[in-house]
Amino acid sequence: MLIGYARVSTEDQNLDLQIDDLKKAGCEKVYQEKVSGSKERRAELEEALSYVRKGDTLVVWKLDRLGRSLRNLINIINKLQENDIQFKTLREGFDTSTSGGKLIFHVFGALAEFEREVIQERTKAGLRAARARGRLGGRPKKLTKEIIARAKALHKDLTIPPKDICSTLNISKSILYRALKL
């Protein structure tokens, strides 16, 4: 069974062209939605993915209708293949039921893995370079020895409420109470 999925990014856009082409291609059911592809949750796509069964084919008008990032596309197509569900695009002619389509999919997968590794290598190199220059990552510590000493001294004066100590030291109540425990 061919199951279609059509998507446009905004309410102003029209789904008619995609729906017509999906129906001409033989899709018996077409899921449609108007939501940005960058959105984490796309209800109709999730519905279509839960509807397709082993032996079915999920069909989209163009590859970018399924997802915005290569990683996202590969994750979706991997899930489909794990369940013996094929995937096809009408405009690009991408079809995982053919040997050529499987090859293209594996090339995409290899490129995505390569991209992830390059990003990790760059990140690690950048962190090493920063450490070599004496820069440490992360958020600066609010709780210094000086703040702890001043907080304890101010807290001994029972006429000063914790709210005023916090505003004087420019710290939150949780940091104040952490300083008092030390």
Catalytic residue ranges: 9
Report the run of H or E that residue 113 belongs to, with start and end: helix 99-132
d(CA 77, CA 157) in angstroms, rounded, equals 65
Enumerate helices (H) and strands (E) in the chain, giving the number of each. Answer: 7, 4
User: What SS3 state is found at 62?
Assistant: coil
Residue among 179, 178, 176 at smallest CA distance from 168: 176
- Cβ 67 vs Cβ 77: under 8 Å: no
**What length is written for the chain?**
182
Measure the CA–CA gap between 11 and 43, rounded to whole angstroms: 15
Amino acid at 78: N
- Say how many Å lie between the first and final Cα of the chain, rounded: 67
